[in-house]
């Protein structure tokens, strides 16, 4: 079920690795064969697919690293039961609110995929976000910190859209680390890292590494995999 799997070692000292992959979406076949499924049933099938997909990718990463362990899902952040490595998941797709659009995508696609991602770290809780869709300026204006918006509003649109998306992914990753509410996490001020995001907003570099001096976390941006990791 996994396609185009990529493994990236982020920090050999702390055994921090991430993996991304494309996953054939079985719920698409279910929907095509059952056109009477409701939006809630489509969304349920999608959630089950995503849940299975990220765990399948975790098993592939553990196999690559020769780690024999099982995932403890009893509390956040997730950890491996025996080695106590921290685990975090991400996937790209619509939510329940996008069930109609999801159904249209299913009906019009011959080869539907979702993207899945996982990070594994021995050091501390880490976050990851894989995102294929753009984040609209109107959405950023609703959630982002005023200091961030003051910088973003004066940028050329193409660069601004790129930075908005990267900021969103960074915020989502910190939300997963600290278990912030969505509004709380998106409203955090990350103006200190915007200059680095602007500087490399149109670069085709394989990996951009940034240190957030305020939190002490490192941030990795992997453009080709549409993934951001905070570790």
| Higher-pLDDT residue of 5, 44 | 5
**Averaged pLDDT for residues 44-51:** 88
Q: Looking at domain 2-125, which of 3.10.310, 3.30.160, 2.60.120, 3.30.70 is its CATH number?
A: 3.30.70
| Higher-pLDDT residue of 36, 92 | 92
Cβ atoms of 180 and 215 closer than 8 Å? no
pLDDT tens by residue, 176-202: 999 999 999 999 999 999 999 999 887
pLDDT tens by residue, 85-128: 999 999 996 443 443 343 344 334 444 678 999 999 999 999 99
127-130 and 113-121: which strand pairing?
unpaired
Count of H helices and E strands in the chain?
A: 8, 10
Q: How long, in residues, is the chain? A: 231
Predicted local confidence at residue 26, as pLDDT: 58
Q: What are the structural domain ranges in the chain?
A: 2-125, 129-230
Asked if pLDDT for residue 9 goes beyond 50, the answer is yes
pTM above 0.85, yes or no: yes
Sign of CA dihedral 148, 151, 157, 163: negative
């Amino acid at each position: 079920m996994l396609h185009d799997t990529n493994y990236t070692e982020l920090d050999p000292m702390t055994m921090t690795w991430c993996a991304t992959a494309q996953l054939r979406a079985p719920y698409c076949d279910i929907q095509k064969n059952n056109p009477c499924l409701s939006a809630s049933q489509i969304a349920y099938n999608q959630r089950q697919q995503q849940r299975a997909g990220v765990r399948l990718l975790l098993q592939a990463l553990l196999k690559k690293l020769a780690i024999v362990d099982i995932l403890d899902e009893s509390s956040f952040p997730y950890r491996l039961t025996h080695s106590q490595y921290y685990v975090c998941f991400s996937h790209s797709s619509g939510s329940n609110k996008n069930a109609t659009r999801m159904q249209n995508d299913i009906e019009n696609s011959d080869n539907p995929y979702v993207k899945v991602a996982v990070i594994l770290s021995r050091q501390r809780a880490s976050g990851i976000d894989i995102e294929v869709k753009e984040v609209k300026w109107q959405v950023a204006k609703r959630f982002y910190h005023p200091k961030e918006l003051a910088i973003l509003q004066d940028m050329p649109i193409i660069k601004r859209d790129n930075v908005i998306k990267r900021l969103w992914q960074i915020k989502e990753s910190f939300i997963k680390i600290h278990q912030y509410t969505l509004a709380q996490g998106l409203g955090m001020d990350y103006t200190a890292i915007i200059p680095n995001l602007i500087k490399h907003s149109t670069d085709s570099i394989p990996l951009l590494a940034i240190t957030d001096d305020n939190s002490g976390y490192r941030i990795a941006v992997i453009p080709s995999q549409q993934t951001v990791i905070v570790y």
